[in-house]
Structure 1
Amino acid sequence: MNPRRSPVKPLGRRPAVGDFDVREHLLDTATRLFSERGIAATTVAQIASEAGVTSALVHYYFTNREKLLDAVADERLAPAAKFVWRPAVEDAVSDPFALVHEFVARLFDVTDRMPWLPPLWLREIVNEGGLLRERMIQRIPFDNIKRFSSRVSHAQQDGTVNGDLEAMLLFNSILALVMLPLATAKIWQSARGLPVIERDALRRHVTTLLIGGMQPAPHMASVRVHTQTQTQSRAQAQQPKPSSVRRNRKDTGSQS
């Protein structure tokens, strides 16, 4: 009798057990390597080796490199952006100061959970020619940026936010102040004589800088007016007096 053979698994079908975990593991591995080495310098073979699988399995789940990059943008970067921008979507949060506090908190939260995000953002989105740039431009919530800028503009008109700020640039400033130091942290850590950037210190610095810069400065306006008044008074005192005034004073002195 022939030994009983186990049934052959049909070709093209994914394993039912652990299928989602394998794909997530591959996506996590690829995203991390992209942030460390750059997308152009990372091969499918390297991703497979780092994940402990074969290159064929990477192609099995993502078909090709372009589909893998689409998955990184859709399943890793887009949810992170949505998480950060959630307060701006909620109408209940309209105070610009509260929004800035929340943006900073959420950026530090998401970069703590996804430490690969700042270097990947700098390498592949900010840099000209980054391979995720066009994908993320299609996914950036520009309407939320406009909504946030509008709230800042209204607060400026009400006198509660510094009118010298450019409302449309404020979120760019928040993003740069948080992401750039985190993306370049290894450079600072490798430089001799420079202190290591602590996350808590950076968060405190960023928050203080932003909230302080947003504060209206009415006292500065009064100081300028007072200074101008003093300058005008001194200038008037130094001007030569009219001749009629000098003659009147001379006549008064002779009569006495």
Structure 2
Amino acid sequence: MTAATTAWAAHGTMSEALGTLAAEGATGALSGERGIVHLSGGRVVHVESALTPDLGALLTRSGAVPPDTWWEAVDAGGVHHRVGHRLVDSGRLAAGALEVCHLGALFDAAYFVLTHDTRPRRFRPGALHWLGAVRSVPVDTVLRESGRRRALLERIWPDAGIDVVPLTRVPGADARDLPARRGRTLAQVDGVRTAADIAASLACRTYHTLVELRRLAADGLVTAAPTVPAPAAVGQEACPAAWDDPDTALLRRLRDALEAL
């Protein structure tokens, strides 16, 4: 490795390491405890975390793309890093819709990767993501948006622990008087699912789900479940026909702002 690809290791947090890699114009994948940030020319192109549904799950579970179409694009375009292009070129997904969905998944995963700002573990220079180029975002924008989301969640309910652990309903919790979205979220709380599991079941971005779960916690309706051994398997839940996404307008504004840079 050259000095340009090792300076990141001197930093104790993912945010600091990303700042260094951005200044170097680095291309590759930076791994941390909660996910991976993919860079191209010092800009963020993808973020992945096991704590959030990935782009494929959001597109297929929402009904935007049939599962067979998604996996055909992955099989045909993955090795060439052109899965996104395959979806658009096939006419199955508009370029603008792909960009908005991609930004949502990117910022969702970035919240988990950066909020607790754990130590970076590895940087693989030159590594490319199989999805291919969709929309790149400046590192500063990703850091700022992650901080904004953290601040909002803390204002609602200052306990980040419920973001990552199985949740349970408080005895007597009733969804009848709740807004529809919050009621659907509460209905998924079963003592086993985490926020990421609930988001995947609802075909919703994890951050939107976190907002509702923090509100439910603030209302005394949900809390962390007692620690129990993980079950061997969790059954598949029915998914809604539509992707309930009130923040699409915000993501479009973010995309437009990035285009203006």
Larger radius of gyration: 1
Q: Which has the higher contact order (CA 8 A, sep 6+)?
A: 2
**Is the shorter-chain TM-score for this pair beyond 0.5, marking a shared fold?**
no
Structure 2 length as normaliser, TM-score? 0.27
Q: Which structure's residues are more often strand, by fraction?
A: 2
Q: Which structure's residues are more often helix, by fraction?
A: 1
